[in-house]
Chain A
Amino acid sequence: MSGFTSRAVGYSSAATVLMVLAFVLSSELFLIGGLLCMALMVLSFSFIPGRPKVERELEREQCFEDETIEVLLKLDGRKQAGNLEVFDRLSPGALLKNSSNCAMLPPGKRSIRYVIEAPLRGYHPVGPTSVRRWDPLWLWFSQGEIDNKSLLTVFPSMITEKARVMKIAKIKQRPGDMKLRRVGLGKEFHSIRDYNTTDPFNTINWKASARNRKLLVNQFEAESVTDVMFLLDSRMVTRVGTMIDNPLEQSIRFTASLAAGLLQSSNRVGLIIYGSTVSVFRPVGGTSNLTGILHDLTNVTPSGYNTMGATVEYSLPYLDPNVPVVLLSPLSEDPTVKEAIKNLIGRGHPLTVVSPAGVEYERMVYEGKITPKYLLKRMARKNLIDDIRSMGAKVIDWTPDHDLAWAIMEVWK
């Protein structure tokens, strides 16, 4: 695409008009003016810099919400006449923190450095880079796009704290084969140590003992203790509030934080996300699997109207018996909540309901106005929470006044 400035239009019109007037009025002034404008434009239009090579370097390709990332844009072109205007497109979910993603500079080897902030989880594209090549007098440009898109993965922000003893936790009925990289009674080899009188004979490492002329025993890795399933509500209704602060985002941050803590304390974590579809991620353990869970959470988009009742019905076969379940939902606009909770508790799953108050987020959007509709919704929610509590579930009513740390502390109580 090419474009002209108003100066270019002015010069070209002046050249034409002055030439005509020069001929009509026999004016040498107009003749010189017309020819000069014409020659000036033709000369400037003849010089345009070549297309530069543009490479982008992100400080990190993965970060957490509210972190800043430095972006370095390297331009490599021959030193020529003319100028370059560069614009590195950013995702609407990324904010410019420092410097600029738009720059004017002479051709040659150049670099642009700017800092972006990612306040919202998700996969944010950085680029492509649009380059305008200008003539030396900035009269016209030729614009092109360089396909150098990068992807910035923004994970939900977390509070990393080692999980305490959960009241909901139960020792697994069927210990799995998860390795915990610490000494225990598992089957995987961990290390060798000196023999104690209480050690069974079958743990003695005879080859190592012969080499070292003393009795040595093998140590094995410990195994997992608890599975925890998170049931995350990602229906369209959870989107109520602002882009950054709404029940879904809070639920995701909570899940990420608690999952990190649980994994760090040698537990296994599974995830069921329902919205437009139901996605089940079987329990996994070990801190190395945290990235996978974070990716699953980053990918969540608020959509759909699946009910909790249907989701629980669908996912019951995937839940191991007596596995503690943490349900994250604003509990709004779903008539099957009670039935679903009854179903889970009836199957022996210890249940913790973390409910960001959607009605309060909705009120914040309307500048805190208290309307009859709000009062009715709040009353209905309170009654529902009371009913759930009476069924034997632990309910954390999470209002926007309380932060993430408070909600996590409530789980440990």
Chain B
Amino acid sequence: MPQPPGTHVELVDVSKSFGGVRALDEVSLKIGRGSIHALVGENGAGKSTLGKIISGVLTPDRGQLLVEGEPVTFHSPREAITKGIVLIAQELSVVPALSVAENVFLGTEPQKAGFVARRALRRKYAELAATAGFQLAGDLRGRALRTADQQKVEILRALGRNAGLIVMDEPTAALSRPDAERLHEVIRHLAAGGTTVVLVSHFLREVAELADEVTILRDGHLIRTAPAAQETVGTMLSAMLGRSLGTAFPARRPVTPQAKVVLEARDLSAPGVHEVSLEVKEGEIVGLAGLVGSGRTELARALCQAQRITAGTVTMAGGQLARASRSALIPGRRSTPRTALKAGLAMIPESRKEQGLLFGRPIGENVSLASLGRLSELGLVRRGKERNAVANVLSQVGVKVPAQSAPVATLSGGNQQKALFARLLLAGPRVLVADEPTRGVDVGAKRAIYDLLTELAAEGLGILFISEDTEEILGLAHRVLVMRGGRIAAELSGDDMTEAAILGAAFGAAERGA
């Protein structure tokens, strides 16, 4: 492919922080016109943030963005669109009830006296589709489209707004192999036609095949920008490795050899999970790593019976908790989060706001919710007993509250997370599945949660610790499972537990194909 003439977008010393966490630190790079420029890095390396800054979704704290050599400050995606820059986010936004053509020209429909000029709309759509080289009927309804076709609608929508630069965030993450290949063709066609494409992707093989240039980020820092021809999956991976800042982790206490297995899954399958087998021993912290979308959360939900399993068994030390029924018509005893909790398996869900807390309710009610049976007599809540139990467990997890009757929403993010820990600890579990317990909390609260997890393990709890932060997993876990594509891709322990090994397995460096 001929090297494109001139620079389309340039970033100079761009920095962006979220609540004290530096997501991007003085990143500078140039994106050539008509090129396919890939942004790669680990989870949280800053690649999505960079894509969002280019497309005006985020405004940088410091630094300068130049489009066509001209300094610009975008405060909204709308302002970026006026400069011909459009973001296609991971979550697509096709209106189900409108046709493809209407979706493409949404908000910019050709009009006649306030009515949509249908004939003009059809003609404009045909022209646009021909320029882009797409075969997609304009009269299909949005709801009838597969993900791959929805993506085409988004691309056409971008082109319809005269986009000169399209930022695509993980465009192939939700696509099947052939659809991904077809999208690659589309992207090549766009670039050949002079459109610049910024590709944020987890798939290094895709990047190596598709991109003209690659920018590698780590921890918010720019590692390098280089022509893709000079990179391989291996060189990109090694550049993504290594962390600079060393958060202090509490000392790990070894698991005694005679520790019993408390949680066991055999050939467990569920939506997004394929034939996973694992064990957690008492006093053991098992780290569960993997990229976003690799099935970590799905596995956690399947283990804790929040999601129906389709095959396999889950067993707690006391006895079998759940097994997939052979017949859909004659289900066995249906297991639910309630039965899991009773068997001693508790989960800190991924989103404390959507799945964890009762936001409008008082702190006390939130903490006692899973243990009310024990705190009541004849169905009446013993309020004195409840207050004492809640106060005790809150002090155990280290939360000071103004009053138990204050709404839980008044607590800081870190304390909300600890209140969620308190709820589950009060229920007296033997195994705790913690899905991203440190997401969105500040550094101090992170450390407190690390201490808490270590203490709980020392008291004999088995812990399955899910995190997208590799360093966190390495700092806390006795053993690490790495997920990829819904399966356990690697099990690492002892000296094998390295960032390189985890990332290698997570990105599938050893496998063939994408």
Bound pair (A, B):
no
Query: Residues of B with Cβ closer than 8 Å to A?
Result: none
Query: Residues of A with Cβ closer than 8 Å to B?
Result: none
